[in-house]
Structure 1
């Protein structure tokens, strides 16, 4: 066999350390970095394309909170007012005052030269306060008037006074007025007088203040109407009241 075909033995050093090998192949390391870059690029693009996170609507929350507080306070106030009114009602047991027309006198009913009608009525009214613990102040600004159907004949007012507990007060009130359609009105009254039943309405509007113990409350108005049926309209004579129906109420 030729020399160049001889096999030379390879000398191996047993004590030499084995060649160091990379834990991760270079190719794979690069590929992993590439993968990470490829993965990071679409993630960044995705985050860049997303809208910014919405901030909590602070103003709206504050407005809703204020509205809830306001409603709660109103409800609490209504409860307190209702409880107070209930306690006052149980303690004082309020009742509406009563009124009645005792008699009616026509002191003047004259047709003037200018065809206006002048009327003067004297009315006696009884006011009764049935309450045991409530006083009534009759204030300035009262208004009483006598009407025939839809036409006002005369008007007047009652004086200021205080009515105590369970008190009955008789009031003599003078009412006077002038109507420009005197001729027409006088003819209608005379025709109605022939029947012996003349309808008249006494309208009452009186401001009063209620006194609970030592506490004086704000003004309210006593509103009412007394529907009267009288027999005649003769002057200077006491007129007979055949029927009387009165309805009253309070207006805050």
Structure 2
């Protein structure tokens, strides 16, 4: 058989041909073991992330609180300054009262064992202010107490009291008290000593007038602790001691 036919049936390797290398993708580094390395995925360009800072609500709240506190402090300063100026200009003083005399018109024990009392009190109201007038409003009361029991009560008149004015008031007080038998016995025993403690309480709603300005209504509260010699009816009672204290209730 001819040589070219043998080569066609059994091809012989070409001794001079260079050895074939395994196919490696372009751009891939060779593996140490000769195995191909899979290709890397294409690089993606990183998209920059913009961070949005949240609005701090706490700072807004702090500013609001600071403004509110500042306004309140400023308002208090203005009020204090105004009050100080008014005090220096008008020099306000509390009105005072004195008990001139006390007369018992009736003091008896009823059939239902209640004690009926009727007192006539002369009281002087003094306004010591040079630039302040006083309006005595409706609802003023004057009452007489023995220990913690109210004997009688009367209404104060409605009137205006000018600057540095003294006004004499005649007030009729009446009252009816439970457990009159026990109370009458205590009063009779006290009368034997010649010193009977009585408490006259004043509750007077008033309005202050500064110049031409009439302010809102306030209350004059207080009373006079008296010591009288007797409780005989239709006689002028001697007042042995008197201690009066008053305050202004806004």
Task: Please give the TM-score of this superposition, normalised by the length of structure 1.
Answer: 0.79
Query: 1: distance between equivalents of 2:193 and 2:179?
Result: 22
Q: Aligned to 1:216, what secondary structure does the other structure show?
A: strand
Distance in 1 of aligned mates of 2:172 and 2:82: 41
Instruction: Tell me the equivalent position of 1:191.
Output: 189
Q: Once the 2 structures are TM-superposed, how far is the Cα of residue 144 of structure 1 from its aligned partner?
A: 1.2
Count the aligned residue pairs: 211
Calculate the aligned-residue CA RMSD, in Å: 2.4
1:215 matches 2:213: yes
Matched, 1:203 2:217: no
Name the SS for the 1:56 alignment partner. Answer: coil
Q: What is the alpha-carbon distance in structure 2 between the residues aligned to residue 114 and residue 54 of structure 1?
A: 87
Question: Distance in 1 between the 2:107 and 2:130 partners?
Answer: 42
Q: Where do residues 121-136 of structure 1 align in structure 2 (5 Å cutoff)?
A: 121-136=119-134
Tell me which protein shows more helix as a share of its residues: 1
Q: Indicate the SS of the match to 1:104.
A: strand
**Are 1:75 and 2:73 an aligned pair?**
yes
- For residues 94-143 of structure 1, the C-alpha deviation after alignment (integer angstroms, 9 at most, x for no partner) is 11111100110000001000110000000010011111110000000111
Q: CA deviation at 1:180?
A: 1.4
User: TM-score, normalised to structure 2's length?
Assistant: 0.79
Q: Any stretches of 5+ residues in structure 2 without a counterpart?
A: 1-26, 29-39
The ranges of structure 1 where at least 4 consecutive aligned residues each deviate by more than 3 angstroms after the TM superposition are: none
The answer to whether residue 114 in structure 2 is matched with residue 107 in structure 1 is: no
Q: Mark the structure with the bigger radius of gyration.
A: 2
- Does 2:87 match 1:85? no
1:1-43: CA deviation from partner (whole Å, max 9, x where unpaired): xxxxxxxxxxxxxxxxxxxxxxxxx99xxxxxxxxx9xx99xx
Per-residue deviation, 1:54: 5.5
Aligned to 1:147, which of 145, 155, 166? 145
